[in-house]
Amino acid sequence: MIRSPSHLEPGSEFDPGAAGAGNLPRAWRRAWLADPDRPQIHDPDRGWLTRGELDRASRGRAARLAGLGLESGDRVLLSSESSWDLVATYVACQRLGLVVIPTNTAYGPRELGHVIADARPAAAIVDDPERAEVIGSIAPALDCFGPDLPLPEGPALELDRAAPEAPALLCYTSGTTGRPKGAVLSHASCLASAEALRCAWRWTESDRLLLCLPLFHMHGLGVGLHGSLHAGASAVLLRGFRPDEIVERIRELEATLFFGVPTLYHRLARHPRVAELARLRLCVSGSAPLPASLHAEIESATGQRVLERYGMTETLMLVSNPEAGERRPGTVGWPLPGVELRLAGEPAEIEVRGPNVFSGYWERPDANAEAFTEDGFFRTGDLGSIDEDGYVRIVGRARELIISGGYNVYPREVEDAILGHPSVEEVAVVGEPSPEWGERVAAYVVLSAPLELEALRTELAGSLAPFKHPRALHAVASLPRNALGKVQKHRLAEGRVQPE
């Protein structure tokens, strides 16, 4: 078992009491009251809004929500693009003690129907009239409002009273296998993760985050927004990712932090002004593995050594490369403060325990019994290894492990090797049924030039054992991804553009 090493510098000590001292809005209020005139949120249309404005706006909106009859513990579906209104209303929900269900703005009737039927929200807040109509057709009795909450003013309330163990978020997993499950995250869990990131990344009120990640996903909400509010820092909201806008905002608004997924870094690396990234204090990548080759490409162009970290919807942040220390390509670093991590079984699955870990899946006792060990560790489903210096490496998902001819093949290892071929832009490796091998290794590739299977196998001979070589090569126009850039491997066969 490994825990966070003592690599934190003076002034950045982890405060384990931060998670148990109260709830999310109480932690945020410390900064609001200390300096209410300090800019905190930059809206694409309205410009800068201060800490004090966020305090007042969220208080007023909490009263409006209470005027609807909503009470602490009620669930509210929230589906909106990034904006000041979204942030103020989200904070209002937390101040009233509501349980927020962040919901992907791309969800259609089937996905929305599942979340609504499973979570049974008391209200929905959406920014798109067509999406509101879809919700109305699914649940006619469900009140639906815009994120600006066009409601009558409500009475003055005593806010910020949720207990640390009270649920703050009900987040549905991506559902790449089976129906999505709701992960219940408490105020204490969210605060523990934010506090760990504050000290590990030396996040202070002087930092300014360029936040282009959507706030319906935990990378944008649970890391980006929560982390900024907890540290008293400021955040620049962007609606989507446009490389030109990123490089302009870095200079114009004096940003210090940027969080992205590998797909975004891939596009930035090819931008003519990629050198603007050198102005940032810290670049962080997550939600999917960052190829070591891309890490090297960005460092060569900008001097930035991207910090890769590891987390899940169910656990928030778990592991991170150090802010001050070696950021080792191909690894996700060391456990964050408060996190215990171990490898169990063969193949070695990552199991974790800590104050950041969720309390369980919403109304899923069978899933919870399977998800946790008898001594309280959460089974992540990710396979990993730990090197001699304690750096954790993610080698794949347990369910994605390929057993070919009796040998274990880890897709991540094969993908990393294939990415070294000059004709390969992107790759995803999966197992396909085979009467001869049980499963055969199949590679789905986005190519910049034609490539034959045998030529690729010859290229891999020096780096991979023959049983790990792909026995099928499928060229695709693009890899199917979710909103955060994670490859959806169950959809790969949809995109074939040529026979094998």
**CATH number of 159's domain:** 3.40.50.12780
262 and 179 within one domain:
yes
Question: pLDDT of the chain along its 500 residues, tens only?
Answer: 777 654 444 445 666 556 445 899 999 999 999 999 999 999 999 999 999 999 999 999 999 999 999 999 999 999 999 999 999 999 999 999 999 999 988 888 888 999 999 999 999 999 999 999 999 999 999 999 999 999 988 888 899 999 999 999 999 986 444 578 999 999 999 999 999 999 999 999 999 999 999 999 899 999 999 999 999 999 999 998 999 999 999 999 999 999 998 889 989 999 999 999 999 999 999 987 888 889 999 999 999 999 999 999 999 999 999 999 999 999 999 999 999 999 998 889 999 999 999 999 999 999 999 999 999 999 999 999 999 999 999 988 788 889 888 778 888 889 989 998 999 999 999 999 887 788 899 999 999 999 999 999 999 987 888 889 999 999 999 999 877 678 888 788 776 654 44
| Domain edge (last residue) among 333, 358, 393 | 393
The type of residue at 51 is R
Quick check: is 489 in a domain?
yes
Task: Report how far residue 412's alpha carbon sits from residue 418's, in angstroms, rounded to the nearest whole number.
Answer: 10
Residue 282, Cα to own-chain centre: how many angstroms? Answer: 17
The pTM of this model reads 0.85
Please give the residue range of the domain that contains residue 468.
401-495
First-to-last alpha carbon distance for the chain, in angstroms, is 44
| Residue 251 to residue 236: CA distance in whole angstroms | 13
pLDDT score, position 346: 80
Q: DSSP class of residue 8? A: P
In terms of domains, do 355 and 434 share one? no
For residues 131 and 168, state if they share a domain.
yes
How many residues can be counted in the chain? 500
Task: Write the CATH number for 430.
Answer: 3.30.300.30
| Contact assessment for residue 122 and residue 141, using Cβ atoms and an 8 Å cutoff | no
Query: Distance between CA atoms of 169 and 172, rounded to whole angstroms?
Result: 10
User: Do 465 and 359 belong together in one domain?
Assistant: no
Q: Is 290:262 a contact under the CB 8 Å cutoff? A: yes
Q: What is the dihedral of CA 119, 125, 130, 133, to 10 degrees?
A: 60
**Same domain for 223 and 247?**
yes
> What whole-number distance in Å separates Cα of residue 160 and Cα of residue 216?
22
Q: Do 170 and 91 lie in a common domain? A: yes
Measure the CA angle with vertex 221, ends 318 and 155; round to 5°.
130
Show the tokens assigned to 230: 């907890």
Contact 189, 381 (CB under 8 A): no
167 and 202 inside one domain: yes
DSSP 8-state class, residue 327: -
**Strands of the sheet with 472-475, listed across from one edge:** 424-434, 438-447, 472-475
Residues 57 and 140 in one domain: yes
Same domain, 326 and 405: no
Say whether 230 sits in a helix, a strand or coil.
helix
- Domain count for the chain, please give it: 2
Reading the block at residue 341, the tokens are 């991590």
Check if the beta carbon of residue 288 is closer than 8 Å to that of residue 270. no
Separation between Cα atoms, residue 52 and residue 33, nearest integer Å = 7
The angle at the Cα of 384, spanning 381 to 389, to the nearest 5 degrees, equals 145
Which residues neighbour 268 within 8 Å (Cβ) at sequence distance 6 or greater? 243, 246, 247, 260, 274, 277, 298
Asked whether residue 500 is domain-assigned, the answer is: no
* Residue from 337, 408, 400, 352 nearest 192 by CA: 337
Give exposure, 141-156, as e/b (b: 16+ Cβ within 10 Å): ebbbbbbbbeeeebee
CA gap 302, 276 in Å, rounded: 7
